[in-house]
Structure 1
């Protein structure tokens, strides 16, 4: 079932737990998806509504269901820095190492290039514009990111600790070749880089002769 702005989705997005419970009790499909392929649980997790997420999980929500971009409830919660939501999802056995699966930037780039093909300019001008559009679209490239990589990109240190304790793969790379440590360093998150270094190598012990 597809639904863009059904009552359940609106209630979950706005954090209205009791309304969501009433709708679910009345037969609302807990795993229905909107036009972006997101479930009500995904929407609640993205907005950080922990009580709503708990209610949905108790009613049988698919904890790992991705949207059309391959992003799942845990990864969207971690990207948004929603610690309590992530705790609930992990306690309910969410896949801590699930990856985004769709190249958003590449899809957008393809659309841009298709638009350029319809322009009446000369071939060179058209191709140059297409190349620029492709590079701009590539800024949103996010294929293969785990929840830990997204937490590192955003600098959510406490979330990263939670994910590592839950078994997140510190060496996992996205399709751009970035591991969590690269993501943290690239985005200037010093404390995150220190955390990852310690988690990877262990605490240093200095010996004196």
Structure 2
């Protein structure tokens, strides 16, 4: 079974409503007893769908229903941090796609800000990779681990921001990151900037 492509016949009605952003339909289905934690072939549930789609209203609806139904803080937190088969949390999916309002809701619901995926990415790294500066600022401000290494190359978020040429992000990250952090080839972010011709990033790091 493919864990990355969604098979339509495996998606629950609740998850489909969450993906479409239909709060009214989602609420109606939940009131009829449909589970928000039914998974498709990728391991996605309704919260994953709503978070990836950027539907703040549906995320609110799901979190409210779970908090009322679970009646236990640890169980609600476990649901918020549930993972797909690729190890992606709702927090990761929202950060990856730049859904700032959704991310705020998830963090308020005790989403794990540093949860790693199967390929060793995390919400902050995903936001950096996709150029979502506001998300990066939020995650850093909330205490995300800026010096953790990711992927098989052991790059930090700063390495990735420099590689992508996200100079504004580099300026933010340089205030918090270990500028001397090395990847698996003993290369710093400064070296990456020089290697890939990211002159603005290079200047920022030299002055940091």
TM-score between both structures, scaled by the size of structure 1: 0.73
- Deviation at residue 18 of structure 1 after TM alignment: 1.1
Q: Which has the larger radius of gyration?
A: 1
Q: Distance in 2 between matches of 1:180 and 1:25?
A: 42
Task: Give the Cα separation in 1 of the matches to 2:45 and 2:11.
Answer: 11
Q: Aligned pairs, how many? A: 160
* Equivalent position of 1:51 in the other structure: 57
Give 3-state SS (helix, strand or coil) of 1:98's partner.
Answer: coil
- Report matched runs for 1:53-202 at 5 Å: 53-60=59-66, 62-101=79-118, 143-176=119-152, 177-200=154-177
Determine the C-alpha separation between the residues in 2 that align with 1:76 and 1:95.
12
Partner Cα separation in structure 1 for residue 49 and residue 148 of structure 2: 26
Higher relative contact order (CA 8 A, sep 6+): 1
Give the structure 1 partner of residue 189 of structure 2.
none
Find the counterpart in structure 1 of residue 26 from structure 2: 20
Residue 111 of structure 1 is matched in structure 2 by none
Alpha-carbon offset, residue 19 of structure 1: 0.8
Q: For 2:143, what is the secondary structure of its paired residue?
A: coil
What residue number does 2:3 align with?
none
Q: What's the TM-score, normalizing by structure 2?
A: 0.73
**Runs of at least 5 residues in structure 2 that lack an aligned partner in the other structure:** 1-8, 67-75, 179-206
